[in-house]
Chain A
Amino acid sequence: MRNAFKHFFRRHVSDAEVRDEIEIHIAMRAELNRQAGMSEDEARLAARRQFGNTACIREQIYDIYNFAFLDAIARTLRSGVRTLLRTPGFAILAILILSLSIGAAGAVFSFVDGVFFKPSPYRDPSRIVRVEERRSSGEPNIVVAPLNFIDWKNENTVFETIAARTFVREALSSVPEPAIILGTRATASYFDVFGVAPALGRLLLPEEEQPGKDNVVVLSHRLWSEQFGGDASIIGRPIILSEKPYIVVGVLPKGHPLERDLPRFWRPLSFNSGERTRGFHSLFVTARLKPDVTLDQARAEMEALGARIARDNPETNKGWGVIVDPYVDVMTGPHFRQALCLWSTAVAILLLMGLANLANLMLARATARNREVATRMALGAGRITLVGQLVTESLLVSVTGGLLAIVLAYAIVSVCRAMLPDASLPRETYVTIDLRAFVFMFVLSTITGTVVGIATALRATTGDLVQKINRSGRTSSPDSVRHRLGTALVITALALSFVMLMISGLLVRSFLQLVRVDPGFDETKMLTVWLSIPQNKFSNPEDLGTYLDEILQDLAGLPGVHNAAFTAAPPLGGWGYGMAVLVRGRPDVDTASRPIVGFKTVSPSYFDTVNLRMLRGRPLSRQDSHGSQPVAVISSTMAKKFFNDQDPIGQHVLVPELVPGQLGVGRDISWEIVGVVADERVSLFDPAEPGLYVPIQQSLPMYLNLVVQTNVPAATLEPPIRKLIHQINKDQALDQMLTVDQSKRVTLTSNRQQISLLTAFTCVAMLIGAIGIYALISFLVVQRNGEIGIRMALGSTPALIIKLVFTRVFSWAVIGAIMGSIATLGLTRALQALLFGISAHDPWMFLLAFSFLAIVSALAAWLPARRAARIDPMVALRAD
């Protein structure tokens, strides 16, 4: 039984057993010999002789049980490790280069993979589409007018379900930490499109999509845990949003992609009569295709439907169409693609540099070992064996490098994930170093090792042996072909570093330009805060006007406050609204074809508060109240664009009425232009746009921001301002106060992060380039030991030797920079799209990049150059 077990588990007969067996055989033969009359010794010897070489036979049997080639591989591996350890410097450099370049590649791979290739977390994601309007100009209009959406919903036959949503900001007040939070108003079908099931309670119902029944809310898991302590009994109880109660009916599941979205709650989307319009575009529409409907069929039907709507409603829809696009494509839009393209380029450059440098190192090493290899070949080592050995060595390096790369990539991704806010990536993506990234990096490093190994091994093992044995080491002129190849590789690396330097340098400069955008006032002394204005409380514009005036008057008395104003959109925060306008008296065109301009409702003090100079006419005044003649001040650009050299003062523009709290606009209002004001910087990125300013009392906006210009550090004023407002109205919900400087930082967060990452990558690129230079110069110095010795012996000084080395390195840097410049110029078009306020041809940038390259090259060459200068001529000439 035990025997059976032993045999079951043991596949091999051990060498000791075989030896026993053979010895017993010989003993038996000897016994027979003795019986035949031989002496003891004679019998044993004869038996042994007859058997033959036992060691040889044992080896044969050993080979039967053990694959001979496995053994050979183990031997090669052992000797590979030994050889590598003999020159640890080489091994460390090679592994470093590989792990840096492949690690970076792996990290970016997981981003690209996470964004573009990972299956979306939704059920059947390929059937989800985004439906948009198309303006008569052909441009897409992402937001859809409610009536158009309703027509789409009722008349289409291609969608299983179609959903709309819009965003709201509400003051959440029934909790320990009242806050202003972003939410969504969505149709019940929104959850069907994305296939969400509630973690608790239920989701929204279609019958709740009507005024009066829409006072229910679904909470995000995050809001539920942060503000309600994850209390399950919240279901069925009301919460207060902007002073109105909503019954909580459900909670979303934890970790669902919707959770990564900014909105924290979902309310039913209902339309009151004023919102049933085609003139106010506010809805984001997504839909799920029926299983048997293709994208093209859906496009065709929706296009026909759009044409039908345009025909029946020419006033608002003439020339407008419908766009149907796969949701995934929309989510990973052109901006995102551009960024990832940039990343992929950067990484491809890093990889190429890594490979070039690894090849360089291996080549340099192979040359240094030329004689060893040649001698071994002369002594009969098979070429296959030698190539195998050299390839094994490079594989050892690359696999170790690959493993390190995985660690590095993991670190990079963790850091990036910690740095990037959730909302900066499409919510569907989940970036992680997973099996795919592992495989990617491992395959990459293994292929690298094999290719580079085989290439160098083939070089090392071809050619004239005798010449190699005689030449290497002793002779003063190095193998010129190898030398040229090595130099070419280093120059390539330098050129690629130069490109990276240019790209990241330009982006940094462009970023600094953005930071320096001058809005015309001191950003650190401009405080802004978003206020929730409950519509039910101030339905009368006069009451609201009085309330806002009271706040402004009290603020004026607060020490440190220089000026204060209300506005629909804070400085650098856009216009607030874009409206279709028509100059009265000019040929009438339907709303659908009117030009869109910025439309900002402000209190009269706004221009003074943000330092906007009046160019013509008068500013807005407190006398321009509800009921009096509607007046507007237009921006300088609008005056130029719409009135050319005529005087705009006294002219009228027609703009539809804004109805607060409603997703719709009213009838046209005729605004009399009373003044022209200097252009305001409404956005960091865009140049001046046409726009008009109207008084708050004459057009109530949906959102209001308080802007306070201070003459003391703004942060110190937050508590007194808060207190002052709450003294006037204790229920006034206030968002966090931010200086314009702070909001700008938030706006630029993703730019900043992208730039830090790119800078890090550039550093890695420079490091790889530097290692390449260091390695090549080191090997050249070792190679030309003899030559340098002779020079020294003939009276050259260490300074001259160092100069020799530096001249050479400098010429590499120059050639590298020239090649890099050419490559950068080739990238100009792609680059310019990413740049703001700086040309991709900026000469200073070229100079800066070159200086940097030269300095790093010089640093990399310094150590080996000094070593060269210290060579003792006698030792150098005798060595070898």
Chain B
Amino acid sequence: MPKQPDTLQGTLDLLILTTLDREPNHGFGITLHIQTASEGVLSVEEGSLYPALHRLERGKLIKGEWNITDNSRRARYYHLTAAGRKRLMEAKQSWDVLTRSVAKVLKYT
């Protein structure tokens, strides 16, 4: 059983993993994607993004490699590892459970 990350932390990890599931991306790209995808509602605090990324990398869920961006800059691109993909599935499921349960509680009055 993977260790259950606490919810807030887990949320950021979930967002990062989902973003990287689409395509490998660098830190700034991840920030932009989350902002765009949430239509501006979620803005990732940059100060916590990088520690989260490196924690995930140390946990071997993602892997970072230096690469060249579209406008020919150097950037560290992250992609999901197999373990990361597995963790994403589990995290998504538990997120579903969590949100459905919260919704039920909210409706129950």
| A residues whose Cβ falls under 8 Å from a Cβ of B | 3, 7, 13, 17-18, 20-22, 24-25, 27-29, 50-53, 56-57, 60-61, 64-65
Main secondary structure of the interface of A (DSSP, over half): helix
Within 8 A of A (CB), among B44-59: 45-47, 50-51, 54-55, 57-58
B64 and A22 contact, CB distance less than 8 A: no
* Chain A CB within 8 A of B73 CB: yes
| Nearest CB on B from A36, distance (A) | 13
Flag whether B100 is at the interface (Cβ < 8 A): no
Q: Using a CB-CB cutoff of 8 Å, which residues 25-50 of chain B contact chain A?
A: 26-28, 45-47, 50
CB distance from B3 to the nearest CB of A (A): 15
Does A65 contact B58, Cβ atoms closer than 8 Å?
yes
CB distance from A781 to the nearest CB of B (A): 56
* Nearest residue, chain A, Cβ from B63: A7
Query: Closest approach, in angstroms, between the C-beta of A30 and any C-beta of chain B?
Result: 11
Report chain A residues within 8 Å CB of B47: 51-53, 56-57
Residue of A nearest to B74 (CB): A24
Bound Cα distance A28, B76 (Å): 13
Instruction: Point out the residues of chain A lying under 8 angstroms from B96, CB to CB.
Output: none
**Interface size class, chain B:** 10 to 19
State in angstroms the CA–CA spacing of A60 and B51 once bound together.
Answer: 6
Q: Are A21 and B50 in contact (CB under 8 A)?
A: yes
Inter-chain contact A61/B64, CB cutoff 8 Å = no
18 more A-B contacts (CB under 8 A) besides A20-B74, A24-B76, A61-B54?
Answer: A7-B63, A17-B76, A18-B50, A21-B27, A21-B75, A24-B26, A25-B27, A25-B28, A25-B50, A28-B28, A28-B73, A29-B28, A51-B46, A52-B47, A56-B47, A57-B50, A64-B55, A64-B58
B90 at the binding interface (Cβ < 8 Å):
no
Q: Assess the B51–A3 pair: CB atoms within 8 A.
A: no
- Known pairs A24-B73, A25-B27, A25-B28; A64 contacts B51 (CB<8 A): yes
CA distance A25 to B76 in the complex (A): 10
Complex Cα spacing A27 to B57, Å: 23
Closest to A12 in B: B58
Query: Which interface residue of A18, A53, A64 has the most chain B CB atoms within 10 A?
Result: A64
- Contact at A21–B76, with CB atoms within 8 Å? yes
Minimum CB–CB distance for B19 against chain A, Å: 15
Q: Taking the nearest CB of chain A, how far is it from the CB of B35, in angstroms?
A: 11
* Interface Cβ pair total, 8 Å cutoff: 55
CA distance A18 to B55 in the complex (A): 13
Contacts of A13 in B (CB 8 A): 54, 57, 64
CB-CB < 8 A to A7: which residues of B? 63, 65
Would B28 and A61 count as touching, CB distance under 8 A? no
Contact of B51 among A27, A50, A57 (CB under 8 A): A57
Q: Shortest beta-carbon distance, B44 to chain A, in Å?
A: 11
Q: Which of chain A's residues have a CB closer than 8 A to the CB of B46? A: 25, 29, 50-52
Pairs A-B, 4 closest by C-beta atoms: A52-B47, A28-B28, A60-B51, A61-B54
**Shortest CB distance A5–B (Å):** 13
A17 to B78, CA, bound (A): 14
Per-residue 0/1 for B66-104: is the Cβ within 8 Å of any A Cβ (1 yes, 0 no)?
000000011110000000000000000000000000000
On chain A, the residues within 8 Å of B45 by CB distance are 52
| Cα of A64 to Cα of B64 in the assembled complex, Å | 15
User: Which chain B positions have C-beta within 8 A of A24?
Assistant: 26, 28, 73-76
List 20 A–B pairs whose Cβ atoms lie within 8 Å, in order of A's numbering.
Answer: A3-B65, A13-B54, A13-B57, A13-B64, A17-B76, A20-B76, A21-B26, A21-B50, A21-B75, A21-B76, A24-B28, A24-B74, A24-B76, A25-B46, A29-B28, A51-B46, A53-B47, A56-B47, A61-B51, A64-B51
CB distance from B107 to the nearest CB of A (A): 38
In chain B, what residue has the closest Cβ to A29? B28
Between B51, B64, B65, B73, the greatest number of chain A beta carbons within 10 A of the residue's beta carbon is seen for B51
B86 to chain A, nearest CB (A): 20
**Beta-carbon nearest neighbor of B55 in chain A:** A64
Docked pose: A65 CA to B57 CA in angstroms: 10
The interface residues of chain B lying within 8 Å CB-to-CB of A29 are 28, 46
A61–B53 Cα distance when bound, in Å, is: 9
Instruction: Please measure, in the bound complex, the distance between the C-alpha atom of A51 and the C-alpha atom of B48, giving whole angstroms.
Output: 9
Verify B65–A65 contact, CB threshold 8 A.
no
Please, which residues of chain A bring their CB within 8 A of the CB of B51?
Answer: 57, 60-61, 64
Residue on B with the closest CB to A52? B47
Smallest CB-CB separation from B27: which chain A residue?
A: A25
B58 to chain A, nearest CB (A): 6
Given the interface pairs A13-B64, A21-B27, the reply to whether A61 lies near B50 with Cβ below 8 Å is yes
Rounded to whole Å, the gap between the CB of B2 and the closest CB of chain A is: 18
A50 to B44, CA, bound (A): 11
Would you give the shortest CB distance from B49 to chain A, in whole angstroms?
9
Which of chain B's residues has its CB closest to A65's CB? B58
* Nearest chain A CB to B47 CB, angstrom units: 4
Complex CA distance for A27 and B65, rounded to whole angstroms? 19
CA distance A13 to B54 in the complex (A): 8
- A17 contacts which chain B residues (CB < 8 A)? 76
Nearest CB of A to B96, in Å: 29
Instruction: Please name all residues of chain A whose beta carbon is closer than 8 Å to the beta carbon of B76 when the two chains form the complex.
Output: 17, 20-21, 24
Question: A51 — nearest CB in chain B belongs to which residue?
Answer: B46
- Complex: A2 Cα to B57 Cα, angstroms: 20
Q: Which residues of B contact A52 (CB under 8 A)?
A: 45-47
| Distance of A17 Cα from B58 Cα, bound (Å) | 15
Pair B28/A65 contact, Cβ less than 8 Å? no
A53 to B63, CA, bound (A): 25
